[in-house]
Each structure stands twice: as C-alpha cells, then as structure tokens.
C-alpha cells in the first residue's frame, strides 16, 4: 500500500488518544471531495485499528500506513 499522490489535507493527531484521532479524521473526511486524500499523523496505539475500521465502514480507501518510528502516517482516500 503506497501512493505517490500528495494528500489534499493533513491533520496532526500526535499526542492525542482515542477517540480524538478518530473524531478528527471523521470531521476532516467530511470536508473533502470524493477522491481526495487525507493524511493523518498519529501516535495513539489504537489509531491503526480505529482508522482502518473507520475507513472500511465509511466506504473510504486506506491507501497506505507508514510507521515513522514515533508516529504512524495514514493516507485515506475519500470514497462516497
């Protein structure tokens, strides 16, 4: 899962814990158009499971998940 297309919007959730990264991701996705990519930076241990489950349930595509040591970088393409 990798993508060279730059994100349309980025949110920094480093230092925030469940459920805040999920809430901020959901709110940011609502402001995007179909096909736009959201970049989410998060260090919450539950973020990968929460955001992957959210993307699938909401009809979005988890384009990539990168582990950058202290945090993870998620790229999510807006679906419907």
Q: What is the DSSP string of 25-73?
A: HHHHHHTSPTT-EEEEEE--TTHHHHHHHHHHHHT-EEEEEEE-SSSEE
CA 23 to chain centre: 11
H or E element: which one contains 9? strand 9-12
In total, how many domains does the chain have? 1
How confident is the model over 31-64, as pLDDT tens digits? Answer: 999 999 999 999 999 999 999 999 999 999 999 9
Q: Which CATH number belongs to the domain containing residue 70 in this structure? A: 3.30.110.40
Residue 38 falls inside a structural domain: yes
Catalogue the active-site residues: 18
pTM of the model: 0.92
Residue 73 falls inside a structural domain: yes
Q: Does residue 37 contact residue 55 with C-beta atoms inside 8 Å?
A: no
Residue 2 falls inside a structural domain: no
The residue range of the domain holding 17 is 9-77
């Amino acid at each position: 899962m990798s993508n060279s297309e730059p994100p349309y919007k980025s949110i920094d959730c480093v230092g925030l814990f469940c459920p805040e990264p999920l809430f901020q991701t959901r709110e940011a996705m609502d402001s995007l158009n179909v096909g736009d990519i959201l970049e989410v930076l998060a260090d919450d241990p539950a973020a990968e499971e929460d955001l992957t489950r959210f993307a699938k349930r909401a009809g979005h595509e988890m384009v990539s998940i990168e582990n950058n040591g202290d945090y993870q970088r998620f790229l999510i393409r807006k679906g419907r």
